[in-house]
Amino acid sequence: MVKLIVNLVRKPTLSRAEFSVYWREHHAPLVISVNEFSRHVRKYVQNHILPDSTPAGAEGTFDGVAELWFDGKEAMATAFEEPLYLKIIRPDELKFLNLDQCVAMVTEEISMA
């Protein structure tokens, strides 16, 4: 199992609150509704930044973190090559994300506790 972790940056035209509402109330249901994509996803988690929660004065540059689990790298690649992902989900991502500033990594989760 692999996990795709994406540190998200919102479009500059959106406040963090507007971004959070759009991501949760519009984008997530859209992702789940596109079976050709979501059938490859074992788990999808959105991590929303809490207002006024920056620890120890450190300024964060990201607006949220998405986590998507897949059976393997091949399943992940297949999901993102699905024609309906490219036709429906990707254009929606372009509406609220500043993709040039998002940072993605593919990981293997190792639980220590």
Q: What is the mean pLDDT of residues 46-73?
A: 83
Domain that holds residue 24: 2-53+61-107
Report yes or no on 24 lying in a domain: yes
Report yes or no on 19 lying in a domain: yes
CATH number at residue 18: 3.30.70.100
Token code pair at residue 86: 């490219």
User: Phi then psi for 23, rounded to 5 degrees?
Assistant: -60, -45
Domain count of the fold of the chain: 1
Q: What is the mean pLDDT of residues 58-85?
A: 93
Report yes or no on 18 lying in a domain: yes
56 pLDDT band, cuts 50/70/90, is low
Report yes or no on 39 lying in a domain: yes
Q: Pseudo-torsion of CA 102, 63, 21, 30, nearest 10°?
A: 20
For residue 33, what pLDDT is reported? 97
59 pLDDT band, cuts 50/70/90, is low
pTM above 0.85, yes or no: yes
pLDDT of residue 8 exceeding 70: yes
Q: What is the pLDDT of residues 63-76, one digit of tens each?
A: 999 999 999 999 99
Report yes or no on 113 lying in a domain: no
CA distances (Å), origin 44, targets 51, 60, 95: 22, 23, 20
Report yes or no on 47 lying in a domain: yes
